[in-house]
Chain A
């Protein structure tokens, strides 16, 4: 595989007044409609995403919501709703861009999921999110609170056709352990803009796993900041961009507390004309954040001509007293030589490609460490690859 390696820390952008994270605000007036030349929008296909920048209410109809939500919460988990302005809604997430501000504005009743203190929920909490109409808007706000020393796994599965704005605020309180998996398995015509923001408490453990396969345009922010020392965040991602698809992941970790850890690891495969993947990793290490450790990595595997991967790691360091910081970004190509080698051993070409992509993804999946989730994701990847690369024999 041809690999181009971006140099380590030294090459990173080390500015503080970053243009990468505009001032968050609930006020729509603070988020004028972007024209596409802004740093944070310059990779996004503005014409295609235009409907998500308009102020629109939920386009539900009597007995026919724009998006159907099915929550499967095991015993011990509490689910209810929160109005605009009703705490804890708005505590962790303040909208960072126009779609996020619109999501909040357009959502009267946020879903509120509470995992009580000292509760360990063995079964994953599952939420099925099914779009029902590519022409209709859904504005979703979800508030998830993992109370102190609780432990749970949450799995979201997005499917179907819709125009969805989605804010998820996740409060991982002191000593809690939360794994959040978000699978984007949308139909080809879906538009999706999301902001997932987590606050990680003292000695808390947070894992966020993004799996983006479907959709016309998918643009996801994954943000993390800390609420005390000792917190750890792992942000994993897998994506597969097919012909014409735009999949954009923007990550922001704000090391605002000492002795915190973060690890970002995203891998994507691209195939087909105008398949476009964007990955922006941004880690800020504040002056107070002594003794932190961070690493961000993005790997792309380009399977055909005509596909494009943009990958930009940033590291903004305000203190010299850190335990470790680094980043890497590589783009490899599955080329004729790989194909020849594998097929010369009797493996048919489709299977060879599948083998390479599967190996590339499984590496990340195996790091999640929850067998049930791992198995499901392996199955999801196999299904996606059967559809996009060709069926397994």
Chain B
């Protein structure tokens, strides 16, 4: 039982045809583990996240991702979510006309295979939103429409809490958050991992969030590959040295 990424190659579909971004990624996330991925802009972190979630613009060309033994490439986007995968997006999409409350109920029903109990559900939603510092008026608003950058990120974690997937990929959920919001969001993630059997892949640029969410492993990612791995101390080291040495090494190997 784990989320296993094995020699994954991914192309992004561009107007000029497919372009290879991931060049053999290996990573295993066991239940209960938090993995941080760090790496320079454009190194393919979001590509990894989108490819796993099944975004149509990204194509797995070889290798595999399995979730508790299920081959993700054989599942549609919604089937992956129902299998237990969740992606908190770097740029959550605005969906005009669909209210947050209606969306959450529909998603919960889809994930659980049955509608949530009417009475407890509303309470649960309000509680989750309250915990992330979103007041109940957000329920009636269109999904992500007009939300500030920080509010969108909080709303992603509200969803994480309510949908409670087996594995969560958090793509730069900490970017664009003020210091208080960072703590609120981190608390939300910690409540989720506190269950003990959930796996997290945390994509970030900043060690700041790693003071709140303690990773078990840190992976450094350059040009579509993991170039080094270690424990939390690796993040601290990166803070001092930056990526230059890794980028140079990756170039030399290419």
A residues whose Cβ falls under 8 Å from a Cβ of B? 1, 3, 301, 332, 336-338, 340-349, 351, 355-357, 359-360, 363
Contact = CB atoms under 8 A, between A and B. Distances in A.
- What are the 4 A-B residue pairs with the smallest beta carbon separation, nearest first? A359-B97, A346-B81, A346-B110, A345-B107
Interface string B102-117: 1100110011000000
Nearest to A330: B96
Given A1-B96, A351-B110, A345 B159 contact: yes
A344 B97 contact: no
A351 B106 contact: yes
Contacts of A343: 76-78, 81
Interface string B75-94: 01110111000110100111
Contacts of B106: 347, 351, 355
Contacts, number: 80
Given A1-B94, A341-B93, A346 B99 contact: no
Given A351-B106, A355-B103, A346 B78 contact: yes
A366 to B, nearest CB: 11
Given A340-B55, A344-B87, A345-B159, A356 B77 contact: no
A360 to B, nearest CB: 4
B67 to A, nearest CB: 14
A342 B97 contact: no
B84 to A, nearest CB: 10
A338 B81 contact: no
Interface of B: 53-57, 76-78, 80-82, 86-87, 89, 92-99, 102-103, 106-107, 110-111, 142, 159, 163
Prevailing SS type, chain A contact patch? helix
B95 A342 contact: yes
B113 to A, nearest CB: 10
A315 B177 CA distance: 44
Contact of A356 (B56, B80, B95): B95
Which of A344, A348, A355 counts the most B-chain CB atoms under 10 A from its CB?
A344
Contacts of A356: 95, 97-98
B62 to A, nearest CB: 23
A339 to B, nearest CB: 8
Contact of B110 (A332, A347, A357): A347
A1 B94 CA distance: 7
Given A343-B78, A343-B81, A349-B78, A359 B102 contact: yes
